[in-house]
Chain A
Amino acid sequence: MGGFALFHLPTIGQLRRSATPGQFALALAIFIFLILFLVIPVGTVIYVAFTERGTGSFTLVNFQDFFSNDLFMRSLWNSIWVSAMTVVWASVIALPLAYLTTRFEFRGAVLIQTLGFLPLVMPPFVGAVALQMLFGRNGTFNLLLDDTFGFKIPFMEGLSGVVFVQALHYFPFILVNLSTSLRNIDRSMEEAAQNLGCSGFRLFRRVVFPLAMPGFVAGASLVFVKVFDDLATPLLLNVKEMLAPQAYLRVTSIGIADPMGYVISVMLIVGSVLVVWLSAQALKGKDYATVQRGGGGLSKRKLKPLEGLMAYSVVVFLLALVLMPHFGLLLMSFATVWSFSPLPDAFTLSHYGRVFDDSWVYVKNTLIYASMAAGIDVVIGTAIAYLMLRTKLIGRHWLDWLATAALAIPGVVIGIGYLRTFYDISLPGGAPLASFWMIIVLALAIRRLPYALRACVAALQQVSVSLEEAAENMGATKARTVRRIVVPLMAGGILAGFVTSFSTAAVELSATLMLVQANADAPLAYGIYVFMQSAAGRGAGAALGVVAVVFVGLCAFITHLIVERSQRSKGFES
């Protein structure tokens, strides 16, 4: 890597002064992990972007090609526009849900939080088909509209279609992170404001929302980056003129040994890291930490009857909208034939019978892979957040940027990179390391690390450093302080990160498809994919999709219950 020479390398002495040996060792360990499982595998694939055709020598001419190609430039602007608009619309959906459920005494808040989170769990392929069946050009809504009023609404056409679907799909990133932040705000801040005569919307705008900024920014930057790098939705809507689909289409076509697919991947990585850097700049120089933790967040207020009615209508409307794809999925899983009609022709249970035998092994594998990957993610995420916010270690931001870059790397690139890097290493017994199921876990962990990381960073930003100083003054060691003070105070954020990583890992396909080497090791997403390749398998695939959603939903629900309980056990009764 010639690039490293460009940066000023600190001397050993400078390094030693910047952190304790323990912190230094921790940073080194994470750095090695990222190099081994992210930089090297990805490097084996994308170095092509910097080589000249024929000679293989270093060049930047491919980047010049990128900027002089109309299609790529159009794709770049489209991607930026769609990502920005999605952040706006996702906020419109997430803000009321987060605010109403955390700010007021709201029956079923945990249920709403869980349901509001489900859109992230969109099983591959089936989710897409279900959306088309409802919102497509000849989907339920448009067929009914056309019948009664004689017009159709292009929900799923072009770039605005992408924004519509992406906002429905990814708003939970904002919801989860913002809710966690809102819960962590010290009630005394709010009370102080109220004592000074501030209330209502002004209170929200001037005090509550600004204090919850770390969560909102974490969520919004994730949504932006995720949409910027997402290829599933544009491809489902058949929008190819965006960067991620362009990269994917080029990387996966055979016989095309051209570097442009990798050049686009590099552009995606640069874009994503830039956004994360910008969002860090936006929060810089402000202090979001609050000292008091016992309060368990904002005081919850009872809604007046009329307010309650309005609040519930908003929540029910939003939930109905965002859960439409899952409703479509459920219909498909019971449908015999569903073709060019508002509803299926008839209903059957036979699809569930078909998947029953297979699904157990898929569910078990998914549970193992996704929970291990999410476990790795929150451990590393917490560690990076701590190193970044609590130490002066030189180069600590590199850990963040490196981990975040993973978000921008197409799954298929990681898949191929892992095969290249780990296939020649043999396990005892002769089988290649790449065929060992743990490799799938690592690939998932790397791909989902940015989610957990953003949640952990946001959580730690809200913990006041004075609490740790107090502990250390009382004689606790750094390690003990982290274990007994920092981690418990971050618990909400860590769990939010775990849930996000877990549930998105549970339906991840692009990297796993490259790495699954035996059916016995296959996760749910792969099972769905296998069914969804034939007309007769559509119902069965949908049934398996429902299994995936219910399973992930249950896990998320349990986690939310735990969060709620732990908030209460910290002495807060609503």
Chain B
Amino acid sequence: MNASGIKTGLGAYTALFLVFLYGPLVVLAILSFQTGPEGGPQFPIIEWSTYWYKHLFGLTPPSRIAPLPIEQALVRSLGLAVMTMIVSTVLGVTAAQAFRRKFRGSGVVFYLIVLGMMVPGVLVGLGMALVANTLGIDRHWWSTAFVLHVVYTFPFAFLVMLAIFNRFDPSMEEASWSLGVTPARTFRKVTFPLIFPGVLSAMLFAFTLSYDEFSRTLFASGRDLTLPLAIYGTFSVEVHPNVFAFGVLTTLFSFALLGTYAALMMLSVRRAKRVAIQEEA
């Protein structure tokens, strides 16, 4: 069998595959440095410049190209993501905590929760808009869109916490209870530090999914735009490199978020190790 030949072939293919995954993003990043305002979103690069980055922040003289409405949208998106993160993490932790015991109907509840991440945003968004219409409720990003964001991110938080609790040794808590510590204090002092890495992952999931979510928001948020809706608005018109510059900046923001997560995770692991060493000593 010609295994090494096949391996080389597949390796070369995988390299091409990565080019396929990254190519468009690289091109987008290069074109974001196109000169402005006359340079368009295509090659060749007439002159390298940071014009479109300045354009995003309103630092350029007014031109025929309208600036992206990002200022307000950014505040809304961040607020929405933080709200969603808090609520879906709390819901995820409590629901997963309940799943540590066997109970009747757990299968149905499990599927009910997981359904939230499976149903496409366009359907649940439409349904929510219909409910709001019928009840005469105004749609806003902080009300109808927010509850849908939680519907979407809560299952992720729940699954992460379920995985954490599955590997969790309940005897720690039992020891605490048998020493007469109240359940609330036990949760704070014993359970929570143990599940903290999971909570952090659930929070990261919820925040980023909500920050990037737009199909639910599109139907359920009314007039005020969030960031993804501002980008979606550019789809129907001519695209200028300012959208590309914005794409580069959001990507950097996401990486910063990921870096923070990694740092917090490492801190928590290191602390756990230190505690373990102290216990052994």
Q: Do A and B come from one complex?
A: no
| Residues on A facing B (Cβ under 8 Å) | none
Chain B residues within 8 Å of A, Cβ to Cβ: none
